């Protein structure tokens, strides 16, 4: 479990976009009960939204972790490219068959499960809902999470991956959920990213 978490980028330092990014953490010294909790994101596991976007992107990319970047390209005032960031593979986190199976399961979450609020008309969307404990003894308002990817109908593979965390959800504490609070935000982002592709596909 620890080895797999590290393949996805947990416990790794040095990630930059180009500014430094806080490292996500998966405790390497766990007993069986702690490991069980960590496996579902509890105990001492900590993850940034960027980390979870990379996980969602790896599922969409056949298991490949791509290097994130903040600026796609820099141009002069007349449009000449000064510098550009392109896709660069950091490592293979899982085999393509596992990624394909996860895509199927994440699609079911949106089509028939708790992620229905992330469905984008005309696109294939996969997602996973979650909530995270917050505060000492879970005294704080839980965080609502949703990670997802989307694929326009004419595209050969998904082209956008999103991670959303809502820290102060407006719902009653017992009703806070990734599907209710975070999935609609992810939907809006994915719709914006796929806007031209979805328009062309109609």
Per-residue model confidence (pLDDT) at position 201: 54
What confidence category does residue 202 fall into, taking pLDDT thresholds of 50, 70 and 90?
very low
What domains are defined for the chain? 106-202 (3.40.710.10)
Residues 120 and 187: beta-carbon distance below 8 Å:
yes
The model carries a pTM of 0.89
pLDDT, tens digit, 9 for 90 and up, residues 133-185: 888 877 888 899 999 999 999 899 999 999 999 998 888 887 889 999 999 99
Condensed to tens digits (0 to 9), the pLDDT of residues 23-37 reads: 999 999 999 999 999
pLDDT band at 18 (very low <50, low <70, confident <90, very high): confident
Task: Write down the residue that tokens 């959800």 correspond to.
Answer: 169
């Amino acid at each position: 479990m620890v080895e797999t978490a590290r393949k996805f980028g947990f416990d790794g330092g040095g990630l930059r976009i180009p500014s430094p990014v806080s490292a996500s953490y998966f405790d390497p010294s766990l007993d069986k009960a702690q490991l069980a909790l960590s496996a579902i994101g509890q105990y001492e596991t900590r993850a940034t939204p960027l980390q979870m976007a990379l996980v969602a992107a790896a599922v969409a990319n056949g298991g490949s972790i791509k290097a994130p970047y903040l600026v796609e390209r820099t141009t002069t005032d007349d449009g000449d490219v000064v510098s550009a960031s392109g896709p660069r593979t950091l490592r293979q986190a899982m085999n393509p068959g596992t990624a394909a199976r996860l895509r199927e399961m994440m699609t079911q979450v949106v089509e028939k499960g708790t992620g229905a609020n992330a469905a984008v008309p005309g696109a294939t969307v996969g997602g996973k809902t979650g909530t995270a404990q917050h505060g000492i003894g879970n005294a704080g308002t839980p965080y609502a999470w949703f990670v997802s990817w989307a694929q326009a109908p004419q595209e050969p593979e998904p082209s956008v991956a999103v991670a959303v965390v809502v820290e102060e959800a407006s719902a009653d504490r017992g009703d806070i959920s990734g599907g209710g609070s975070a999935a609609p935000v992810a939907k809006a982002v994915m719709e914006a990213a796929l806007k031209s592709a979805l328009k062309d596909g109609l």
